[in-house]
Structure 1
């Protein structure tokens, strides 16, 4: 999510920078033209705003308040367009600038901000155009209003549809990039991103944050004996068991192969170990059909807690992984946390319970 926000920010910086350059160049050119035409008010506004745009160009690449500066720039910018449309000496072609408002708004403000900014200024622009250029011919008035209104609505509608589609597609691509395709769980990339967010929350609220690393016991033997299709079913069943017990705030992740991780905000080391043990028992009590046989799945797990076992994800993963191997070495089918072993049922191979 952080990377997505940064990409969006850089995209909007580039769009705003392009708009500022257009404002500087067009502002100077139109100011000179309007001075020669005697439209001094509009020329003064254009020169002032060209100068303002030039000043913004110096900070747009580095400011931490890009959203605020965007609003500060756009509001007077669009107001000048409306004023220009109302001036007696101005040309009706000014309205072509009014119709760029939805495109500019959606590119710089996103779906919600773009909608409201467009709605306000497009409505004002249509009203200003009708006040300025409507004739006494009622049928002609109707045609003018219809042309201006529907063309403006079309530009706004297409801009909104495009921005919504772009936003949805980007969200979907990010979701796919952070999801394991086989199990539907988060992958290691999303684990890292989520940990950064949850760690900040844990620091601010002084609450616990625990990590569980678990590895299925004797999983290679399942693949060798029953094939990868059954092995995939075992992984998917494990993922379902993890999802069914976790809270919305928890994160279940597949690290790779038969190794999984659980990120548990607000859970102490003991609470996380207890949850892992409950998941272990639940999975063990749900055998998987493999033709004429049934497979009982078990796992070994290690638990680590933020602060006690490290301050970074890599440190917690290293500690939890070491404890998971302690559980493996102690006979499998158990959970180990800080040297504390949650002694469980008699350790058995994942294949020992086949065909019971």
Structure 2
């Protein structure tokens, strides 16, 4: 079974950005902390040393942690607060305020649209607020023009970061939809099977649940294509997919594997219940006439039923058992359901 890669690539994209940021933090803060200690800024030097330690720790775990967004939020929380403390304690000659412009870029890249927006709002407003406060000190070290320029620059970068991330997230969403969906029937495709199966085996709150797999193949489908054309075959496939969708409950998953082969993953059912659902589906398909031009076509299906974990510990074993039972149903005369010790025809 092939495993879909697109959503894994999305996660890897953020891991790569985080890794680059961690290396930059280690190099920059190591140098900056030395400078701070020499200048007598003990507090800020210790903060930067702490950031180096945190970055080294995260560099070790970032490739394997499942909580990447949470760790990214923790890192940015400490980074951004370090910037705010610097703006509050040090003069503007340190130019720490320049780092405010990086806040929206890093927030959106590492945490996505919603959380990135929240971080950008909180820390840009806080940073600009501190600079405005410095403007009204008895001996201000910042000017109005400087604040206007900085605010305009930060707002522009924020707007561009937001638009970029919104467009990128929308594009990734569309690509994910294309990657996991059969274009003809609208059902999930084979590439999505493994990830869905892994989710279902975990069950709710980490508790495993029984899973029924129905592997369905339309009988003599090639004859329909040869006799009536591929448009007629497509109409049959779309009709069968509709019947499968109609029989699905809220948590069930329907797939088209290509050609005339379909699959249903049904969580929370016993072997007997899975066979009953397969029977209802087989009967529904056999009773449905497909209108193709002047013709009314009747199609039947053979179904192999397997159950997790009784028939296999993993997806490959489960699929193999269901496929063998489907093959048995075909060889037994077609239009049949085959389970572990059950075979029935119309």
Task: Verify the 8 A CA contact 1:302 1:336 in the aligned structure 2.
Answer: yes
> After alignment, is 155-164 or 254-263 more displaced?
155-164
Indicate if the aligned counterparts of 1:28 and 1:50 stay in contact, CA closer than 8 A: no
Q: Which residue of 2 aligns with 1:216?
A: 218
Task: Tell me what 2:209 maps to.
Answer: 207
Q: Comparing both chains, which one has the higher relative contact order based on Cα–Cα distances under 8 Å and sequence gaps of 6 or more?
A: 2
Q: Distance in 1 between matches of 2:148 and 2:132?
A: 10
Measure, in 1, the Cα distance between the counterparts of 2:196 and 2:172: 18
SS in 1 for 2:131: helix
**1:200 offset after TM fit, Å?**
2.3
Q: Give 1:141 deviation, angstroms.
A: 7.8
Partners of 1:241 and 1:44 in 2: CA distance: 67
Number of the residue aligned with 1:350: none
**Runs of 5+ in structure 1 lacking a partner?**
345-356
Shift of 1:294: 1.0
Distance in 1 (CA, whole Å) between partners of 2:270 and 2:235 is 32
Q: Root-mean-square deviation (CA), in Å?
A: 3.1
| Greater Cα offset, 85-94 or 307-316 | 85-94
Q: 8 Å contact 1:23–1:53 — kept in the other structure?
A: no
Q: Are residues 228 and 69 of structure 1, via their aligned partners in 2, closer, same or farther at CA, if it must alter by over 3 Å?
A: closer
8 Å Cα contact 1:276/1:301 also seen in 2: yes
Counterpart of 1:167 in structure 2 is 169
Alignment of 1:36-185 (within 5 A): 38=39, 40-41=41-42, 44-45=45-46, 48-49=49-50, 51-52=52-53, 55-56=56-57, 59-62=60-63, 64=65, 66-87=68-89, 89-91=91-93, 93-133=95-135, 146-185=148-187
Q: Rg bigger for which structure? A: 1
1:209–1:203 CA distance, 2 compared to 1 (3 A): farther
Q: How far apart, in 2, do the equivalents of 1:35 and 1:329 lie? A: 81
For 1:142 and 1:305, how far apart are their aligned partners in 2? 71
> How far off its partner does 1:335 sit?
1.4
Deviation at 1:255, TM superposition (A): 1.8
Matched residue of 1:303: which SS?
Answer: strand
Give 1:271 deviation, angstroms.
1.4
Correspondence for 1:226 among 225, 228, 246: 228
Displacement after TM superposition at 1:231 (Å): 0.9
Kindly provide the CA deviation profile for residues 104-146 of structure 1, in whole angstroms up to 9, marking residues without a partner as x. Answer: 122222223222222111111111121223699xxx9876665
The Cα of 1:323 is off from its aligned counterpart by: 2.0
What residue in structure 1 maps to residue 273 of structure 2?
271
Q: Which runs of 5+ in 2 are unaligned?
A: none
Distance 1:50 1:341, change over 3 A: closer
Deviation at 1:50, TM superposition (A): 6.2
TM-score by length of 1: 0.83
TM-score, L = length of structure 2: 0.85
Looking at structure 2, the residues matched to 43 and 242 of structure 1 have their Cα atoms a distance apart, in angstroms, of 63
1:343 to partner: Cα distance: 3.5
CA separation of 1:227 and 1:8: change in aligned 2, threshold 3 A: closer
In structure 2, C-alpha distance between the alignment counterparts of 1:57 and 1:192, rounded to whole Å? 30
Name which of structure 1's ranges 227-236 and 274-283 shifts more when overlaid on structure 2. Answer: 274-283
Residue 203 of structure 2 aligns to a residue in which SS?
Answer: helix
